[in-house]
Structure 1
Amino acid sequence: MTIRTQLIATIVASLVASILVVAAFNMFTRSAFKISFTSYEAGKNRIEARLTYLADELPGRVNRYSLQAAVDEASDGGQVDVYVADESGNVLFRSAGADKTQLNIIGYFASRPDETGDYEGKPYARIEAGAWEGKPVYLVAEGRLKGELAYMIRDQPAKNVMLFLLIFIVCFYWFASRKTKKIQLIDRQLAEIAKGNLDVRLSTRDRDELGVVSKNINAMAENLQRQLAKERKLERSKMALITGVSHDLRTPLTSVVGYLDLLQKRAYADDEERDRFVRNAYSKTLQLKKLIDDLFDYTRLTSGDPQLRLQPLDLAELLRQLIAEYEPIAQERGLAVKPELAADALPLRADSEKLVRAVDNLLMNAMKFSDVPGDIVVRAGAGGEGTLYVEIENRGRPVSPEQEEQLFDRFYKADAARAQASDGSGLGLSIAKEIVERHGGSLNLKHRDGLYAFRIELPAEPANGGERR
């Protein structure tokens, strides 16, 4: 029910309540405004009723005897004098006790009621014309009036109007107080939200505009909460970024400085140990370079608007080449890469360099965190609704749902995996996800009991045949 409907219902209910209260008030207080007076209406009505009775009986009385009987009946036992006279006023029939033999017909018609209303003991007569035996006759009923005590209630319009208005205002205020309290509660809760208390939630039980407003306010508070949580998470991510970059860059750099210091001081026993120092320093330098490259690539992908150099390519052939490059590396680690690729070509338009980087990161991630010995399965084929998919599956150490949610976060490393891959930057999955999404696709993970399946879905035929941003 809308507020407008509720307002109309409130007004109607207030009006009905006011009318009922005023009526009840008049009923219970009528004795205070009762006025007594002498009423002659009963006597008048008796005389008029006797005359009406005789007029109704006249056509059916066919002889003098029956008409006389009707006249006697109309006299009501002698309480009313009843006459039947001709045009000259000669009385033809009269009731028992009636003593007039001549009537002044014109005087009866010309008589007027007493303006004073005081009929006590005065004669009161009514006359009516009729016909009997084909001749015109006049019917007269006459009697003396006797007053009876009666009462009337004096009207109090001013008091009734004032009482009506007072009751209406009280009832309207009472009926509307619930909505008023609801609005006041919303006002207080909005003030709390304005102070930053986003845990406040408004009641949405009302099925009117206030209920809709409350739902929208709750949705706004929830969105603000999510936005603040996201901003806090980004702030923590920035701190983690600084900490991660500092830690991941400092570790290999410290090793390089250490080895170079040993070489500079010629603190080696022989040429073989010197060569080992050089190899280690070179290895740490490559690791440092890879960390810097990953950081640079991620920054370039997530900031600005990097353009993709789209070109036609066969996804299946691209994966075969990558698998061929990774097979020797996988064998050294006790792993096997097993392709399950579609026999037909899988054409799409993509930036081959960046797409190779995304798949390369997923394959490297699978090799780092796979159980040894184990298999890495690479699948590719046509998906639904004009898409192609690439799925890389491996079995490794299970992670918690909380850790799984953070695997695509930058610089995130699951604690259980850090020991196995301490040289990682924690940016590989983030970079892969950014690249895939830049191509208009998606990268998702399905994980159950240590079985990981990273799935890339890409549009087979993008609408924009040129450069995609």
Structure 2
Amino acid sequence: MKLNFIYTIRWKFILVFLLSIASTVLSMYICYRLFLYLVYITPFRTPIRWVVNNMGSTPILIITGCLLFLVYFFVFSRKVFRYLEEITRGLQEISKGNLLYEITAKSSDELGTVAENFNQMTKKLRKSIEEERNAEKTKNELITGVSHDLRTPLTSILGYLELIETDRYKDEVELRYYTKIAYEKSKNLKNLIDHLFEYTSLRGEVLQLQMKKVNIIGFLKQLAEEFNPQLEKEGMSYRLMAKEESLFVQADGHQLMRAYENIISNAIRHGSGGVYLDIHISKDQDEVVVKVINYGETILERDLPYLFDRFYRADRSRSSQNGGTGLGLAITKSIIELHGGHITARSSGNETVFETRLPLYPDTVNKHIRLQ
């Protein structure tokens, strides 16, 4: 076991104290020899003897020894005192609000530990302040986005209802037309509110996941079957490809269904230019990889990093005119991350791929390790 006691402050001061005493004794011996030389050999022996006879040798030795000890103790401990002064200066800077200031850890003793702890404290405090600022910024952005997205359909609804209320329509056909538009806008508004509530619930961590063992291959096959009417309407069909018969993950089935519903809906909505929607399922070490591929219009490179941001709408991928609320993929990302996974998107040529990675079910991972 490594002995760390010599690196502590108390042992450093004990060593400094002992070294100061040893240096003082050695210096006193040298002074004593010099004194004998002055008394018996040099021409100054008479006045020196007079001083010794009148004052005594003991007080002189005591005073000289004390002075030498203080000098040696100060010399040997000056590095420690300088370090204390540096830590004090650092604390003063931190107290002034300069959280970028760092105290250099020069030793492995308590002072070095104190310096390192204060550095860690300032880093955590700085990070906490940054997170608080980001949270405030996020909240403001969310309020701004919600206000804009709620105001747009609500303005349309009020406009058409005002036309109906003031009888500014030609006939019943036009009345029904205005009513239908207001009804459709109301449904879009409800859809946006529902998505917003779901998103804030996920981000607020109030959601309690009901985790179970789920066969992701059977799960996605069943889910894709439910999209057949929508696929047929767009002139498409799905193809599900997997080498294994079953791959298990630990997940909340309802929430996972919500996540992949958003991905598949998005793929159908923006991939209607293609014939197929492909779902590839594979295993990569201890992860299940699911790729949902559509063959529609390419997503611009500048839009890819922002696809999973709430209320982000590119000209092609997040348009409110095609029924998107700007929250679907943001909700999907939150759900996937709550399950310990992550999601990415890439697009090239006429192929757009949304890839999710989820941890394999623990028993499956252990079995895989044993088989190796």
When the two structures are superposed, what TM-score results if normalisation uses the length of structure 1? 0.60
Q: Which residue of 2 aligns with 1:84?
A: none
Q: In proportion to residue count, which structure has more strand?
A: 1
State the alpha-carbon separation in 2 of the partners of residues 239 and 284 from structure 1.
Answer: 25
Partner of 2:369: none
Q: Indicate how the Cα distance of structure 1 residues 31 and 316 shifts in structure 2: closer, same or farther if over 3 A, else same.
A: closer
Q: 2:263–2:354: 8 Å Cα contact kept in structure 1? A: no
1:444 corresponding residue in structure 2? 343
Distance 1:11 1:374 in 2: 87
- SS of 2:98's partner is coil
Aligned residue runs from structure 1 range 139-158, under 5 A = 156-158=57-59
Q: Number of matched residues?
A: 340
**Equivalent residue in structure 2 for 1:397, among 294, 300, 319:** 300
Tell me the secondary structure at the aligned position of residue 123 of structure 2. helix
Determine the C-alpha separation between the residues in 2 that align with 1:17 and 1:309: 73
Which whole-Å CA distance do the structure 2 matches of 1:224 and 1:174 have between them?
Answer: 37
In structure 2, what is the equivalent of residue 190 of structure 1?
91
**For residue 72 of structure 2, what is the aligned residue in structure 1?**
171
2:78 partner letter = S
Task: Give the percent of matched residue pairs that are identical in Structure 1 and Structure 2.
Answer: 30
Q: Find the residue that maps to 2:290 and give its secondary structure.
A: strand
Structure with higher helix content: 2
2:280 alignment partner in structure 1: 379
CA contact (8 A) 2:259 2:331 kept: yes
Distance 1:211 1:371 in 2: 64
Partner of 1:224: 125
Letter in 2 for 1:220: M
CA contact (8 A) 1:388 1:459 kept: yes
Give the structure 1 partner of residue 319 of structure 2. Answer: 420
Between the aligned partners of 2:276 and 2:68, the Cα distance in structure 1 is: 86
Q: Alpha-carbon deviations, 1:360-396, whole Å to 9, x = none?
A: 12233445667966975422244544x6443335652
- Gap runs ≥5 in structure 2: 1-5, 43-51, 365-372
Query: CA offset at residue 291 of structure 1?
Result: 0.6
Greater alpha carbon shift after TM alignment, 450-459 vs 240-249: 450-459
Of stretches 209-218 and 331-340 in structure 1, the one that deviates more from structure 2 is: 331-340
Equivalent of residue 27 in structure 2, options 21, 25, 36: 21
Report the TM-score when normalising by structure 2: 0.74
Contact 1:311 1:351 in 2 (8 A): yes
CA distance in 2, matches of 1:210, 1:376: 63
Q: State yes or no: 1:435 paired with 2:335.
A: yes
Shift of 1:15: 2.9
Are 1:6 and 2:12 matched, yes or no? yes
- What is the Cα deviation at residue 426 of structure 1? 3.5
Aligned to 1:283: 184
Hey, what's the Cα distance between the residues in 2 that align with 1:351 and 1:220? 38
In structure 1, distance between residues paired with 2:65 and 2:212: 86
The question of 1:181 aligning with 2:187 is answered: no
What do you get for the CA RMSD once the two structures are aligned?
3.9
For the structure 1 residues 425 and 408, does the alpha-carbon distance in structure 2 shift closer, same or farther, using more than 3 Å as the test?
same
Cα distance, 1:408 vs. partner? 4.7
Q: Is the 8 A contact 1:390 1:455 kept in 2?
A: yes
Distance 1:184 1:369 in 2: 65
- Residue 208 of structure 1 is matched in structure 2 by 109
Whichever residue aligns with residue 429 of structure 1, its letter is L
The within-5 A match list for 1:313-462 is 314-326=215-227, 329=230, 338-342=239-243, 344-346=245-247, 350-366=251-267, 377-382=278-283, 384-385=285-286, 388-393=288-293, 396-399=299-302, 404=305, 408=308, 411-413=310-312, 420-421=319-320, 424-436=324-336, 440-445=339-344, 453-460=354-361
Instruction: Confirm whether residue 260 of structure 1 aligns to residue 161 of structure 2.
Output: yes
Shift of 1:271: 5.3
SS at match of 1:378: strand
Q: CA deviation at 1:446?
A: 5.9
- Segments of structure 1 that go 5 or more residues without pairing to the other structure are 37-153, 464-469
Conserved 8 A contact 2:250-2:361: yes
Residues 247-272 of structure 1, C-alpha deviations (whole Å, 9 max, x = no match)? 11111111111122223334345555
SS of residue matched to 1:379: strand
Aligned-residue offset at 1:209: 2.7
User: Residue 242 of structure 1: which of 143, 146, 149 is its match?
Assistant: 143
